[in-house]
Structure 1
Amino acid sequence: MIHLLTHVLTSVFLFSFVAAAQGQEWKAPTAMKKLSNGLTVAVSEDHSAPTFGLCISYGIGFRLEPQGRTGFAHLFEHMMFEGTPDAPKGVFDRVIEGGGGFNNGDTRYDFTEYIESGPISTLDPVLWLEADRMKTLDFSVKNLDNQRSVVEEEVRVNVLNQPYGSFYWLDLPQKAFDTYPNAHNFYGDFKDLDAANIEDVKKFYEQYYTPNNAVLAIVGDVKTADVFDKAEKYFAGIPSRPTPPRPDVNEPLQKSERRFTESDKLARIPAFAIGYHMPSRSSPDAIVGAVTAELLHNGQASLLYQALVKEKQVAVSVDGGMNWPLGNPFEYNGPTLMTSFLVYPQNVTEDQLLAAYDGVMAELARKGPSREQVESIAAKMRSDWYSQLEIPIDRASALSHAVLFEGHFDSVYQIPDRVAKVTPEEVRSFVAKYLVPTNRTIINRVPTPADKTSSGARGEK
């Protein structure tokens, strides 16, 4: 039975992939509806198994949190699991996991999402629970203190007590960007977290966790009309509330390279983080940037890995991408970076590594990649995207983000075709325009004895 099911699912996937490769856009049955309170509901039917995937995304992320409230978006992701007056702490998890399901939450630059999956028989209780915590939460000092401690411990574990301290995704944006929305410590300064009180938490919830600032997406063994009816039943009675105006997240043009050095008491060998400013999501260059970033960073066949690790042996590892690592290159709604994270041996100097790195960029800007290289990475990107859409919870997530950013879901199904149309010349032109020293910020993270302090910034060149 397992082998038969695998064969059927594989056949469905291969059919859709081949159809798309032949120029036929694959699009799952999908519809959307906006309730009277502003909540947008997207539904995509998938009858391959009696299950569902659900994602509700709120229009609040790292870059949208108010000044003086750094880390609030992430803190509130945790607060949403503290329970409500009608479903106290623990009920949410017990209902979902007890029914054989799964749930989680994530905070990113432009959204906070909550995801659930499970047998289709549990959809109604899950919808009730999500609507319940959209109405209100259990606001108490105990719950706030509990989740504040959890978040601060997360910072200690993931940043303060880890080699490299996540500097390539936490420090780099703060150095590369200039405006508060993009350049503040989005994990949260302890002074801001410690200063938070119940009134702050209630205000944040009332402003951002409102139906008119959310998108609910459901994918699975459902009928579209039935889901719309359920959404009306559970969510329509929740009143909308005013949301703050979106801050100006635009960045001034960077005109010269920025270089910094940081010390690391836990790292044994040095590491480099290089961040280039990328075009806006609405720009035609954005999809070229996504393909270029994958060409440079995706796996051991990538251009940077082959040049820096295999050939010149000036690095021991290469990672990175566009809107990486807290997202994918298609889901951002403001300024973002293409980041290269390079770990290199002690016997290699900073200048040697950068010279080899820049050599790859110069060659790519001069000659461009081969057609075979572009077609190969495009095929992989399309395959990965289709594989993601085959999973109900991942498709629901992608749909909710697209609707939140654009008001519609069409772009979710257009991505593979757009990727396939990128040409070697477009990549060459993109590298020559965007991947230049004046458009980048570099942090060199070097091991330092425990009794030494940070060497600080070297300033902007």
Structure 2
Amino acid sequence: MRKSILTLTAIAFAMGISAQKVEFEEYNLKNGMHVILHQDSSAPVVTVGVMYHVGAKDEVDGKTGMAHFYEHLLFTGTKNIGRGEWNKIEAANGGTGNANTNWDRTYYYETFPSNNLELALWMESERLMHPIIDQKAVDTQNEVVKEEKRQRMDNAPYGKIIYGDVYNHIFDNHKYGRPMIGYIKDLDAAKLEEFKAFYDKWYMPNNAVLVVAGDFEKATAKKMIDDYFGPISQRTLPNRVTIIEPERTLEKKVKEYDSNIQLPAIILAHKTPSMKERESLVLDVISTILSNGKSSRLYKKLVDDKKKAFQVFSFARELEDYSVYNIGAIPLDETSLDDLTTEMDEEIEKLQTELISDKDLQKVRNKFENRFVASNSNVQGIANSLARNYMLVGDTNRINTELDIVNSITKEEIRDVAKKYLAKNRRVVIEYLPKKK
């Protein structure tokens, strides 16, 4: 009998109930690998994800780009999976897989019909035990990375904003100031031994978390996990150097150019607290108030009412050591960037001096609950959330407590955090301008 599939979103809206608690079990293997199990039999699928605690911030000067490079390289094949066969095996067994990288971590995941759990675990253990790292693989993936950079960044309108290439203006010391994808010249100059050394330095069981989420039996899954990952030896983790970024005390103004745009943009960029901190969530709430949706303050004012902006945006990129919060707008017609800055500053000042209404506060809480339900509406999303909260927040159960934290945020906190972190003397004003090709 075919099982019916109901997402958490559908359940929540159909029944009018709050977001469901995510049940999980976690433990460590003897080699230090952390394991998280989440059972969900609502659909006959299972996701296996492995997150490694290595990202762009861990790269050495002159050898950037390797964290993201491995996101591609580790799909080449292994000692027991032929070169180019990885995706074919997934497809032949009804599965899909992918990977992604940021400044803090690299995440690989696969989703299969639940009767292929063992296959998924074997493939991920192969990635850790027997990867193909040779010159042919490096040369092939180097071209793939270059093409990705051309499509997603070099030739994408506003790509430097979206993918963080403007962060060098925000961070003076921290490695978050480097592009997440690194510099192509560094990859071109890197020797095969250096690629292997990066893998040996960071890819080990005691620097990873394994998540299994979906339709499976715990006892069976634990046995498979122990069989495939237990024999992998732990190694000594490298020492991480904590880089302290000084607080900005004077407003900084810079210009960036993009040959892919016709309309300029103005960005008010801020360094904000780590994703572990409560204030980071408060800033996420502020971002929602300012520009999330057509009922947000900046959209209603600049796009609908005054028709000074073609588009407005603000977003918080939450990271392990520090976070980034950007507020921006694209002008309409003859509106100047200075005019947009003045208008945005007025809305920021209101948040810094006035308490938001009960209605606005409840609207924000509703949006966060909807976002939680949407992001955890399938086992793939839950697996990602569990791994991220364990590795970067240091609290796996944050997946269940984040909404409680948001719902406990007061109007006074919103005002005080806006006053503290959105102060003019702490920000970088970026004029993002068209550049002739």
TM (norm. structure 2) is 0.94
Q: Is the 8 A contact 1:211 1:239 kept in 2?
A: yes
What amino acid maps onto 1:156 in structure 2? R
Q: 1:5 to 1:34 in 2, by over 3 A?
A: same
Superposition misfits of 4+ residues, deviation over 6 angstroms:
6-11
Aligned to 2:181: 187
One of 296, 302, 309 as aligned partner of 1:302 = 296
Amino acid at match of 2:431: N
SS of structure 2 residue aligned to 1:167 = helix
**Deviation for aligned residue 1:247:** 2.4
- Aligned twin of 1:244: 238
Equivalent in the alignment of 1:267:
261
Among 372, 375, 382, the residue aligned to 1:388? 375
State the partner residue of 1:138. 132
Shift of 1:435: 1.0
Q: Per-residue deviation at 1:19?
A: 4.8
What amino acid maps onto 1:376 in structure 2?
A: K
| Alpha-carbon offset, residue 119 of structure 1 | 0.5
Shift of 1:346: 4.9
Partner of 1:366 in structure 2? 353
**What is the aligned counterpart of 2:432 among 445, 452, 459?**
445
Q: 1:270, 1:345 within 8 Å by CA — same for their partners in 2?
A: no
Relative to structure 1, the CA distance from residue 389 to residue 258 in structure 2 (aligned partners, 3 Å threshold; closer, same or farther) is same
Distance 1:335 1:386, change over 3 A: same
Q: Which amino acid aligns with 2:93?
A: G
Q: CA deviation at 1:14?
A: 4.9
Q: Distance in 2 between matches of 1:200 and 1:209?
A: 14
Partner Cα distance (1:11, 1:391) in 2? 11
Deviation at 1:441, TM superposition (A): 1.2
Structure 1 residues 8 and 187, CA, compared in 2 at 3 Å: closer, same or farther? closer
Contact 2:254 2:430 in 1 (8 A): yes
2:402 matched residue in structure 1: 415
> Once the 2 structures are TM-superposed, how far is the Cα of residue 446 of structure 1 from its aligned partner?
1.7
Tell me: CA distance 1:51–1:319, structure 2 relative to 1, closer, same or farther (3 Å).
Answer: same
Deviations 1:423-455 (A, max 9, x none): 2221111111111111111211222444xxxxx
**Inter-partner Cα distance in structure 1 for 2:16 and 2:281:** 20
Q: SS in structure 1 opposite 2:100?
A: strand
Mind listing any 5+ residue stretches in structure 2 that lack a counterpart? none
Partners of 1:264 and 1:181 lie apart in 2 by 23
The aligned counterpart of 1:197 is 191
Deviation track 1:17-50 (CA, whole Å, cap 9, x = no partner) reads 7256xxxxx4232101100111111001111111
SS in 1 for 2:49: strand
Cα distance in 1 for partners of 2:162, 2:12 equals 36
Deviation by residue 1:129-158 (Cα, 9 ceiling, x = unmatched) = 100110131121111011111111211222
* Separation of aligned partners in 2, 1:16 and 1:35: 40
Distance 1:244 1:8 in 2: 41
User: Aligned partners of 2:398 and 2:256: how far apart in 1?
Assistant: 40
Decide whether aligned partners of structure 1 residues 77 and 119 sit closer, same or farther in structure 2, where only a CA change above 3 A counts: same
Contact 1:174/1:182 (CA < 8 Å) preserved in 2? yes
**2:40 counterpart residue number:** 46
Q: Any idea what SS the aligned residue of 2:54 has?
A: coil
After TM superposition, the structure 1 = structure 2 runs for residues 292-441 of structure 1, keeping only pairs within 5 Å, are: 292-323=286-317, 329=318, 332-441=319-428
Match of 2:272 in 1: 278
CA distance in 1, matches of 2:339, 2:7: 52
Aligned Cα root-mean-square deviation (Å): 2.1
Residue equivalent to 1:125: 119
By how many angstroms is 1:358 displaced? 0.4
Instruction: Give the conservation status (yes or no) of the 8 Å contact 2:276–2:393.
Output: no
Distance 1:410 1:254 in 2: 33
Amino acid at match of 2:232: I
- Asked if structure 2 preserves the Cα contact closer than 8 Å seen for 1:276 and 1:337, the reply is yes
State how far apart, in whole Å, the 1-side matches of 2:436 and 2:333 are: 14
- Cα distance in 1 between the residues matched to 2:339 and 2:259: 23
Cα shift at 1:67: 2.0
Structure 1 residue 281 displacement after superposition: 2.8
1:177 to 156, 167, 171: 171
- The range that moved more, 116-125 or 311-320, is 311-320
Deviates more, 1:30-39 or 1:297-306: 297-306
Cross-structure match for 1:456: none
| Aligned 8 A contact 2:67 2:106 in 1 | yes
Equivalent residues of 2:265, 2:329 under 8 A apart: yes
2:290 alignment partner AA = L
Cα distance between partner residues in 1 of 2:98 and 2:75: 9
Q: Distance in 2 between matches of 1:129 and 1:10?
A: 31
Is 1:61 equivalent to 2:48 in the alignment? no
What secondary structure, in the 3-state scheme, does the structure 1 residue paired with 2:31 have?
coil
Query: What amino acid sits opposite 2:328 in the alignment?
Result: F
Equivalent residue letter for 2:375: Q
8 Å contact kept, 2:174–2:244? no
Contact 1:172 1:441 survives alignment (8 Å): no
Query: Helix, strand or coil for the counterpart of 2:138?
Result: helix
Contact 2:158 2:260 in 1 (8 A): yes
Q: Helix, strand or coil for the counterpart of 2:159?
A: coil
- Using the size of structure 1 for normalisation, the TM-score is 0.90
Mark the runs of 5 or more structure 1 residues left unpaired by the alignment.
21-25, 324-328, 451-461
Aligned mates of 1:7, 1:87 — CA distance in 2: 35
For the 8 Å contact 1:374–1:424, the answer to whether it is kept is yes
**Percent of aligned positions that are identical:** 29
